[in-house]
Structure 1
Amino acid sequence: MTVVAVVDVTAGPGVGFLPLVSLGPAFASLVGGMRRTALIGLLALALCLVLAVFNGQLGSVRGYTAILSVAGVSAAGLAATAVRQRHEAELANVRSIAEVAQRVLLRPVPRSAGHLRVAVSYTSAVAEARIGGDLYEVVTSPSGVRVIVGDVQGKGLEAVETAAVVLAAFREAAYDEPDLTAVSARLERSINRHMTEERFVTAVLAETHDDRSVTLLNHGHPSPLVVRADGTAHLAEPPETAPPLGMGFDLKPPEPYGLSLAPGDQMLLYTDGVAEARDPDDRFYPLVRRAFLLREASPDTGLEALRRDLVTHVGGPLRDDAAMLLLRYRVG
C-alpha cells in the first residue's frame, strides 16, 4: 500500500494506480485475522480517499471507482478470512484426531524389555502427516520379548485400517501363542478375516530369549541389520524368500531362522522407506556402511543420528515413510 501510494503520487493522477491500494486488504486476508484484515481495509480506504483528494479525483468517476474497488476488496477479504479461519479450525481438529489415532495405533514402546534397550524412530514422507501404514510393536511375553516391524501395502486410511488389524492381532497373539510360527498364522487369519480387499503386509517378527538367542520370521520384509559390539555389521537374511502377510494360506509360510547376540550387540528392524531411500543420483542409502552411527552411548541418540543421515542422503523429503526400531543388548 505504501509503494502504491508513492508511485501514485509520483506518477500523477493520469496514470491510475489508485485502485491498486486494494492489494493491501487482499493480501491481509491470506495471513491475518478478522481484526487485522478489517483494520488494513479501513486503512486502505482512508489512504484511497486521501489520494483521491490529492489527485483531484474525489468527485470523478475514476475516484468513485477506486474507492468502491477498495471497499469491495476489503469486504471480500473479510469474508475470505472468515472462511480460512473456519477451515484452519477444522484442519486443527482433524490433526488432533489423527494424533490421538496415532497414539492408539503406535503406542510408545517400552524403553527396556528383558535384556534389551529399545529405541524407535518414525519419519513421515509427508511433512503434515500424523499417521501412516508403517507399524511396530514390542511385547514382553512368557516366551520372551516379541517384536514386529511391518509395512502395509498402499497409503491412506485403508493402510491405517490394515495396520490397526495387524497390531491388534499381534498384541494378543504375542501373549498367547507358543512360538513365532503360531503368531504368524494368527496374523494371517486376522488379515484375511477383516480385510475385504486384497492388501498385504511385509513384516519381520523377532523373539528374543534369556540365552541371548533370537528367532526371526521374515514375511517379504527388508532383512534386519545386526551390528556387533566390535562395529562389524551385516544383514540377517532369511534362508529363503517368503510371501508377505495377507497373500493367503495356500502359500508356503516363512521358515524361522536364528542368530545370537552378545552383550553390546544391536539389531535394527526397519521398513522399506529406509532400505529404498535414494539420493538425487538414484543411489540407495548404504545402511550397512552407515551402521557405525548406531554406536552411541544411548540407543535413542544413535537412532536419531541414523535418521538425520538418512534425510541428508535423500536431500529432501522422504519418498516413503521410514520406521526404525533398534534393539540393543545390555552390557552386563
Structure 2
Amino acid sequence: MAADPTATARRADVTAAAHGAPAAGRAELRYLIGRVLPFLVIVLATLADALTSPQERFDRFLIAAPALAAATWSARGTAAIGGLTMGVTAALTVVRGDDLFPALLAGQVVLGVVVLAAAVSSHARQRREAELRQISAVAEAAQSAVMRPLPPRLGTVDLRLLYEASAACAHVGGDFCKALQVRDGVRIMLGDVQGKGLPAVEAASLLLGSFREAAYTAPDLPAIARRLEESMARYAERAPRSEAADRFSTVLLAEIPDDRPVIRLLSCGHPAPVVQRDGTVETVEFSSPSVPVHLPVPVDLPFTVEEVPFGPGDRLLMFTDGVSETRDRDGAFYPLEQRLRAWADEPADRIPGLLGDDLARFGARGLVDDTTALLVVRDGPAGGRLPPQPLAAARS
C-alpha cells in the first residue's frame, strides 16, 4: 500500500502506477498516431503519385485523409485537412497535365462531399465525447461519495485501503467501505452491492448511512446487521420503483475492542477475510454465514459472530469479490493466501499496493471488476495477547 492512504483510497496510486499509467500511455500514443495519420496519407499518396507513371493515379488515396481526420480532429481541423487534400489533388492534376474540366471538377465535388461528411461526423463525435465526460464526472463524484478516504489510524488499529476501478471503466461499481471509532473500539463495514451503475452506488450510500447511525449506538454486530436490513426494507417501501430497491448486498462487519486482543466478525454472504499472524495466514471460517442484506428471498436465520484472536502486530485483510474471483488464463482463482504468506515480512503499508499490482498481472483481462481491499493492522494496547488457537475456536 502507498504510504499516503488518502490518495490510495481514491484510486490506489501504487496500483495505477503499475498498470493504469501504461494503459494511459498506450491510449495517448494511439491518439497521436490518429492525429498524424491524415498527413501521412497525404504525404505518401503525393510522393507515390509523383514518382510513378501517370497511369498509376495514387492521388485517389487522398480521399482517405479527411475521413481519418474525423476520428481525432475537431470539425474545423477536419475541414482544414480536407481543404489541404483538395488543394494537393488539384496540384497533382495540374502537374500531370490532366484536363481541368470535367475530371478535376468532378473529383473536387466528390472530395468536397467527403470533407463535409467528415466534418459533420467530427462534430457529432465531439458532442458525444463532451456528454461522456459529463457522465463520467457525475459517476466519479458518486463513486467518491461512497469510497471516501479512510483515516490511516483509528483507535488501536491502522487502516490501509486499496480501491481500484475495473479495467473496463464502463460503470461505477457498488463496492463500499467505512470505519468508525466508537466508544470502546473500532467498527468497520466493507461490502459489495449487486450489479453496477448509479443504482448500485445509491444502494451503497444507503447502507453507509445506516451503518454510520448504527455503529455508535448498536450494542453488537447483529444489531447493526438488522439495522442495515431494516434500512433497505424501508427504502424499498418508499421507492418501490427505484432500481436501488431491488439490489442486495454482501456485507462484512468487524469490531475491534480496545481492551481485548480479539476481532469480532459477521459475514452477510461476503467473502471471508484472511488473518496474517506471526508468518501464518488463515482464512476465517464462519460456522454459519448470514444471507446477504436485502436478499429478495425471505430467510429468517440468526446472525452469527465469529470472535478470533487479534493481538498487536496481527493483520486482517477484508476484500470484495474483485479480489477473490480474479482468474488467470487457465481459469484458476487468485491464490490470495499464498501471496500473503510470501509477503509476510513486508511492511503493512506495502501490502495493498503489492496486492493490486499482482492482481492486475494475474488476471487474464486485467481487473474486470472493482477491486477493494482493506488491511486492518492491530498496532496498540489490547489487554495482552490471547494464547494461539484456531480462528474459529471462539464464537458468540
TM-score (ref. length: structure 1): 0.92
Deviations 1:302-327 (A, max 9, x none): 11101111121113322322211110
**AA partner of residue 325 (structure 1):** L
Q: Verify: 1:261 aligned to 2:261, yes or no.
A: no
2:251 is matched with which residue? 203
The answer on 1:138 being equivalent to 2:179 is: yes
Distance 1:275 1:250 in 2: 26
> For 1:1-332, what aligned pairs fall within 5 Å after superposition?
1-129=42-170, 131-195=172-236, 196=240, 197-210=245-258, 211-228=260-277, 230-247=278-295, 250-292=299-341, 294-295=343-344, 298-330=347-379
Please list the CA deviations of residues 269-308 of structure 1 after superposition, one character each: whole Å capped at 9, or x if unmatched: 0011211111101111111111135546653421110111
Q: Distance in 2 between matches of 1:261 and 1:26?
A: 64
Question: How many residue pairs get matched?
Answer: 331
**Structure 2 unaligned runs (5+)?**
1-41, 382-396
Whole-angstrom CA distance in 2 between matches of 1:319 and 1:96: 21
Residues 120 and 324, structure 1, Cα contact 8 Å, conserved in 2: yes
Deviates more, 1:121-130 or 1:91-100: 121-130
**What secondary structure sits across from 1:60 in the alignment?**
helix
SS state at 2:333 partner: coil
The amino acid across from 2:103 in the alignment is R
- The question of whether the paired residues in 2 share the 8 Å contact of 1:19 and 1:69 is answered with no
Rounded to whole Å, the distance in 1 between the matches of 2:262 and 2:179 is 17
Q: Distance in 1 between matches of 2:300 and 2:96?
A: 85
Counterpart-to-counterpart distance in 2, 1:317 and 1:267:
25
Q: CA RMSD in A?
A: 2.1
Q: Percent identity?
A: 35
Structure 1 runs of 4+ with >6 Å offset: none
Q: Which letter maps to 1:280?
A: R
- The structural deviation recorded for 1:241 is 3.0
Distance 1:58 1:29 in 2: 31
Q: Distance in 1 between matches of 2:119 and 2:99?
A: 25
SS of the counterpart of 2:71?
helix
Indicate the SS of the match to 2:317.
Answer: strand
Contact 1:49-1:58 within 8 A present in 2 as well: no
Gaps of at least 5 residues in structure 1 are none
Asked whether the equivalents of residues 172 and 196 of structure 2 are also in contact (C-alpha less than 8 Å), the reply is no
In the alignment, is the contact (CA less than 8 A) between 2:162 and 2:372 conserved in 1? yes
Q: Distance in 2 between matches of 1:203 and 1:293?
A: 28
- Relative to its length, the structure with more helix (as a share) is 2
TM-score for both structures, normalised by structure 2: 0.78
Distance in 2 between the 1:58 and 1:137 partners? Answer: 76
Secondary structure of residue in 1 paired with 2:251: strand
Q: Check conservation: 2:173, 2:195, Cα contact below 8 A.
A: no
Report deviation, 1:46: 1.1
Return the offset for 1:25: 1.6
- State the AA in 2 paired with 1:323: T
State the distance in 2 between where 1:293 and 1:72 align: 64
* Amino acid in the other structure paired with 1:63: L
CA deviations 1:185-212 (Å, max 9, x no partner) are 0000111221335432111100101123
Residues of 2 paired with 1:287 and 1:145: CA distance?
Answer: 25
- In terms of mean alpha carbon deviation, does 125-134 or 276-285 score higher? 125-134
C-alpha contact 1:293 1:306 (8 A) present in aligned 2: no
* Deviation (angstroms), 1:14: 3.5
How far is the alpha carbon of 1:126 from its aligned partner? 3.6
Counterpart CA distance in 1 for 2:100 and 2:299 is 87
